[in-house]
Amino acid sequence: MKSTDLVDQSSLRDDLPDFDAGDTLKVHVRVVEGNRERVQVFEGVVISRRGSGIGESFTVRKLSFGV
């Protein structure tokens, strides 16, 4: 077992919902500007999902003004 596998197992969350390409999601992004921090929310359609474990990523196409 690699040392990165140990980090992966301890860092994975199991409370996240399942989603696939084609699903609509609301994404909450923490934005840090200087010493201020805010949460920016946007909604979009998942167009791809790559990888697995802690290195998994997904791409969301933002819906803007209904387009």
**Contact (Cβ atoms closer than 8 angstroms) between residue 38 and residue 52:** no
Name the residue ranges covered by the structural domains of the chain.
3-62
- Say which residue, 56 or 22, is predicted with more confidence: 22
pLDDT at 36: 96
**Contact (Cβ atoms closer than 8 angstroms) between residue 40 and residue 31:** yes
At 30-61, the pLDDT tens digits run 999 999 999 999 999 999 999 887 788 999 99
pLDDT category, 63, cuts 50, 70, 90? confident
pTM, rounded to two decimals: 0.70
